[in-house]
Structures are given as structure tokens and as C-alpha cells.
Amino acid sequence: MRPEIVGGHSIGELTAAYVAGLWSLEDAAQLVAARGRLMQSLPEGGAMLAVQAAEADVLPLLADLEGRVGLAAVNGPSQVVLSGDRTALEGLEGNLRGESRKVRWLKVSHAFHSPLMDPILDEFRAVAQGLTYETPKLPVVSNVTGELAEPAQLKDPDYWVRHIREAVRFHDGLATLTRFEASTLLELGPDAVLTAMAHDTITDPVAQAGLVVAARKDRPGPDTFLTALAQLHVRGIDVDWTPLYAPVASRARVDLPTYAFQHQSYWLHAPALTGDVTSAGLTDADHPLLGAAVQVAGSDARLFTSLLSVDAHPWLTDHVVADRTLLPGTAFVELAVRAGDEVGCDLLEELILEAPLVLPDDGTGVQLQLWVEEPDDTGRRPFTLHSRRQNDVPDEPWTRHAAGVLTAADPSSARPTATATGLAQWPPAGAVAVETTELYAGFAAAGLGYGPAFQGVQAAWRLGDEVFAEVALADGQRADASAYALHPALLDASLHGLALTTVGDDGTTGARLPFSWTGVTLYATGASALRVRLTPAASGAVSLTLADASGKPVATVDSLVLRALAAGELDAASGTGDDDSLFRVDWTVVSAPAPTTSGPYAVLGTDELGLRAALAATGARRGRRLRRRRVGRGPGRRARVGPGAVGAVGEPGPPRPGGRRRRRAGAGAPSGGARS
């Protein structure tokens, strides 16, 4: 491979300068050896402390420690290293931990890039002056300035003396590489240390994919290096593979198969249908959740339409409430903000969520319409959002889910600064870290099933009654962040810190969902990670401030009110019981045959059921007597009285006069027994 631009971190810049052609290999090795020998000759007692803070936050702490402690490295927007006398650093450590900042001692033998390097500078200068310098053939990013180094600057021995003593401006160097559109960065070193630090500076997901590591301390060297070459190759970097096969003559190269790898699927999954809406006289809405935008003729109103489904947006299946896939309330905010952009309104004055929008799990689409009315005399535009399921049911009714007002922000109101957001220092001074390990398990117990796409909380802190959180999109959503004003999954994760407060807690159990948004203003788009500030407001509401990694504002919400999900609310919203069931229970009327009055009827035994009266009411003829020969004899025998007989078996009747007993007919009557 041949690099187009090079840079390094500390001693890595010497390697980069050699690669650029500044020295011969012998001169470069001589300077590196002298550097290491002289540094190790210094007295012990130096130390280095990594601090999670911005450069501007730590410089005031060093004002009284000149000559003892210095800034050794600026590795990221909130990553610095302090270097110098251990005793002085221990005092700083206590102060920094008191501000809830993360600090970590580095495993080093001496305090590099600090005032403790001063005793060796003259001798090192002498070595540097004895080298031969050539004009570099490649641009080199300077650690000393963070900018591209001039050739004359690199050829000056005093530059390399400053390089030992002054801070490593790695963070600024990465920004320079980004400005020069370096799309792929290959780290050559014993591990992925620089790549890990670069992730905090290079936040664009596409650019992060271009961070390639050539070696890792815990993985086999050849495998890792060849993997790095493969990553470079698929990113379009020219790689000469010939040396890989040259040492062994028996190695043979074979062509790949001329057909794609084949997989067999038993289930057909039709892709989400998309097309050119302009062919139907519509305008492309240029948004993932909207399909078309229509300006109504003779009016300044706008209509936005869409077809939403979990097939088209699989990440929505990670937002489950009471076992149903629900369009998050933050998606309504995103849709309203996009509509505001179309009509020149940069303030979402109000948004009321009236009914939840349940997305069918079978991938069936949901037709959506967002109607923005003409502006009134003050420029305010009311809007409503409706949906209905896409099916073959004629005249499927529309459900109104949301209503609100869009308007233009006051032009005299200034954009908040990083200082005004209170998020420039991170975490804020005095904030206490909160454990978030069980946060999403608690949500699940309350009926909120957040999948990976929505599990964005990375860390959280409390400061008084405020909650601060660090949130980020999952890897699968970062590539799409730039297509949204503010990705709904990221904004939803920004609200999860409310579970660490008592805001809006009315004592009810179960899920609480966003209900009313007021004063939503967006300052920047396409964010993939945020710093969040949640502040309690009046009447159980909360206000939000969202910022990027430097504390610059991304969005603010004046007031957000949540409400508990009512029992059965999602059943009604999803239409359960209408067309989801194939079967139902119903009554079938059966006509009874008309009563038959032909033939004689007999009632045997006591008439406990009132059969005589019932038969008489039908006009049936009652027989006078059944003769003995027509009554069955013996147990189990039946009286043969014809098809019209009705019998009631009872207890034996009273004895007849003359001493003969009279029995009622029935099973068990003695043979030759009775008349009845």
C-alpha cells in the first residue's frame, strides 16, 4: 500500500516522518534510540494521569503548577493527559475526582511531554542536529500544532526538541485529516489505542468504518494484518497482493466462483415497495418516514403521505409496548419537524398525541397522512396526523393520532451557546454517576420492550433534581442518522433518563408514554450521539436540552408531559376483535316440531313435574287405565303404552283397601304386582 498522508502519536510521528522520506532508515533509528535512551536516563518520580475532560477545563488547574505538571496530550474532545511530578498529580487527582471526572493513572516509567523532560533537551538537540534531512515526499500531520507540517519545519532539529517537550495534539491532527477528506485511516502499532481514541473525534459512522487496525495485542498477528488488508481492499484502496505469495512457490492463486454464494430460503419476504412518486404528479418528501409531499392547488396547505411498515423500517420492531409494536412518540415529533421545514416553520409550538399508532407485526402497511393547514394571521399553522391500515376493507376509517401547531421561532431569540446548555463540561461538575445496568430490565417489567435499536443510554448522572445522560444510536442505525432531522430512536433514548427521576410519577404502575410536547426547536441535524439534560418543569412536566459531544446545542424541548397507558387502549388502537379473528361464536335459531296430540297419553306415578296440566293444555287425550298385561314385568322391563306415553317413576303409593298394596309402575315392581 502507499499512503497519501501520514501522522502519528508522540514517537509515532517519528515513524511517520521516516515513511514520508524525511530521514534514511539509519538516521531515523538513531534518533529513536537516542530519544528512548535519554528519557530513561531521567530520575524516577514522574507520572502521567489520563483525565476525562476538555483541554479548556484543565488548563486553569495547571496555572499554579508551572515547572511541575504540564499538558501532555489532547487525545479527544474530552480526553487529555497530564504529566509531571507524581505528588502534584495526586493533588490534582483528588480535585478531579471531586468533580466526578474519570481519571486513570498510565503505566509509564517517566513523565513524558512534561517539564521533567527539560534536562535532556540539549543533548537530544545535539543528536537531532547531526542527522541528514530530506524534503518529505508525503504530507505529515504535526503533533506539535495539529496542522500539516511545513517541510522546513520538519527539517529543523528544534522542531523535534519541541516534539519531546510539548503536548501531543492528536485530537487536532484528526480534525486536520478529516478536513483533507482522508476517508481511511490505518493504525500501525502494537494495538488499537489510536483507533479507540479516534472514535470520540470522528463521529460520522461512514468515517468510523474507515478506521482500520493492523495489529492487536490479543489476536494473532498474521490474521489481524490480513484482515486489515482485506478491509482496505473492499474500501477501494489499492493493495499489492503479490508479496503475500512470493515467499512460497507452491502457493497457488485460484479464481473465485463465477456465481454468487447460494442460500435457500423457505419463506418469501417481499421487499418494501418504493417507486418514483413524481410519476404520479407528487413530490418526493425526501425523508425515510414520508413518501410524498403535495401542495394543494389554490392554497398554501400541505399534505404529506406515507406507507409505514415494520418491513420497510425493521428498527421499529424494537419499540414494543404491552406486546405491540408502537410508533414511538418521538417519530411524531420527527414527522412534524420535517413538515415544518417544508413550510418554513422552525418551531414545533405544540404536539398532542391523541391515540397510539400500532404497527401490524405481519408487515402490513399503515397509510399515513400529515395535513398542514394554511398559516393564520400570526403565521401559525395547525396540523393533524391520521392513519389507517392498508387492506381490502372498503372505506376503512381513518384514526386521528396527533394534532399540533407549527410556527416560526422569534428571530430576535439568540441560539443557545455550548455554555448556555450546561453540557460543555461533561459530566457536569458535582454530578453523581447513576447505575444504569438494570435500566432496560425495569422498562421491560413495566411493559416497555426496548430492543437494541432503542437501548441508547450509555451512562447517567444526577445533579440535584436534574438528570444528565449520554445516549447513542446502535451501530445498525448510525448510518441512517443523517437522513433524519433527529433520529426517533435517539430522541426516544434521550427520554429514558426520566426513569431515574420522579417526574410525572402519579403512583400508577405500567408504561408512561409521551403525551404533550411544547416548544421543540432543532439546531442541528443528523446526530448519532447526544448529551442530554432533563430538568423538572411545572405540573409534572420536564424540559430537555440536547447537545453534541462538544456541548453545542442540537435541540431543546420547553416542556414534555407523559401519561400512563390506559388499560385496553392498545386493543382499540390495533383493532383487535375486528378483522384479526377468523371465527366467532353465534347463536343459531332451531325451530322445534309442533306438539303431537294424536294417541293416548299416560302419566305414571306421582306428578311432581306437573305433566298432567301441561298435557291437558295441549288438548292431549289422557288414557283411563293401563291393564296389567300392558305393563312390563320384572326389573328393567318397560311399559308398552305406545309412542305417546309419558312416565314419571315415583315411590310406591298407599295400600289399597282390603290389604292389597298398590304400587306405582316402574322398575322393580313385583311380578304379578299392581294395577295403576
Predicted confidence (pLDDT) at residue 656 exceeds the cutoff of 80: no
Protein fold of 421-573 = Thiol Ester Dehydrase; Chain A (3.10.129)
pLDDT band per the 50, 70, 90 thresholds, residue 650: very low
DSSP 203: -
The pLDDT score that the predictor gives to residue 9 is: 95
Please report, for the chain, the start and end positions of each structural domain, with discontinuous segments joined by +. 6-182, 284-407, 421-573, 598-676
Sheet arrangement for strand 319-321: 324-325, 319-321, 448-450
pLDDT in tens, 575-588: 544 444 455 566 77
The one-letter amino acid at 511 = A
Of the given ranges (188-202, 332-346, 364-378), which has the lowest mean pLDDT? 188-202
Name the H helices within 20-156: 25-40, 55-58, 86-98, 121-129, 151-154
Predicted confidence (pLDDT) at residue 510 exceeds the cutoff of 80: no
Q: List the Cα angle 480/484/486 in 5-degree steps.
A: 110
The one-letter amino acid at 226 = L
Element (H, E) at 675: none
Q: How far apart are CA 367 and CA 250, in angstroms?
A: 63
Beta strands at 46-51 and 79-85: parallel, antiparallel or unpaired: antiparallel
Beta strands at 103-105 and 46-51: parallel, antiparallel or unpaired: antiparallel
pLDDT in tens, 582-620: 555 667 777 776 655 555 667 777 777 787 787 777 776
The pLDDT score that the predictor gives to residue 589 is: 76
Q: How far apart are CA 336 and CA 350, in angstroms?
A: 10
Highest mean pLDDT among 434-438, 570-574, 597-601: 434-438
The pLDDT score that the predictor gives to residue 673 is: 37
Of the given ranges (107-121, 305-319, 426-440, 557-571), which has the lowest mean pLDDT? 557-571
pLDDT (average), residues 100-127: 94
- CB distance 53 to 102 below 8 Å: no
- Concatenated DSSP letters for 220-277? -HHHHHHHHHHHHHHTT-----HHHHTT-TT----PPPSSPPP---SS--PPPP---G
Question: Considering only CA atoms, which of 176, 174, 175, 132 is closest in space to residue 154?
Answer: 132
pLDDT (average), residues 91-104: 90
The pLDDT score that the predictor gives to residue 620 is: 66
Q: Which three cell numbers stand for residue 381?
A: 399553522
pLDDT in tens, 336-353: 999 999 999 999 999 999
The pLDDT score that the predictor gives to residue 674 is: 36
Q: How far apart are CA 501 and CA 465, in angstroms?
A: 8
Helix, strand, coil distribution of the chain in percent, nearest 5? 30, 25, 50
Q: Do domains 284-407 and 421-573 have the same CATH topology?
A: yes
Average pLDDT, the chain: 84
- Assess if CATH 3.40.366.10 describes domain 6-182: yes
Cα 552 from chain centroid? Answer: 22
Of the given ranges (32-36, 68-72, 670-674), which has the lowest mean pLDDT? 670-674
Q: Which three cell numbers stand for residue 4?
A: 497519501
The label of the residue with cell 407485526 reads: 361
Q: How far apart are CA 475 and CA 479, in angstroms?
A: 8
pLDDT band per the 50, 70, 90 thresholds, residue 371: very high
Of the given ranges (23-27, 159-163, 207-211), which has the lowest mean pLDDT? 207-211
Cα 540 from chain centroid? Answer: 26
- Concatenated DSSP letters for 607-666? -TT-HHHHHHHTTPEEPS---GGGS--STT------TT-EE------PPPTTS-----SS
Q: Which three cell numbers stand for residue 251?
A: 502457493
Percent of the chain with pLDDT over 90: 57
Q: How far apart are CA 55 and CA 76, in angstroms?
A: 9
- CB distance 546 to 560 below 8 Å: no
Q: How far apart are CA 311 and CA 271, in angstroms?
A: 7
pLDDT band per the 50, 70, 90 thresholds, residue 662: very low
DSSP 288: T
Q: How far apart are CA 307 and CA 359, in angstroms?
A: 11
DSSP 603: E
Q: How far apart are CA 275 and CA 359, in angstroms?
A: 22
- CB distance 443 to 450 below 8 Å: yes
Q: Which residue has the higher pLDDT, 446 or 74?
A: 74
pLDDT in tens, 47-56: 999 999 999 9
Q: How far apart are CA 69 and CA 64, in angstroms?
A: 9
CATH superfamily membership of 284-407: Polyketide synthase dehydratase (3.10.129.110)
Q: How far apart are CA 321 and CA 448, in angstroms?
A: 5
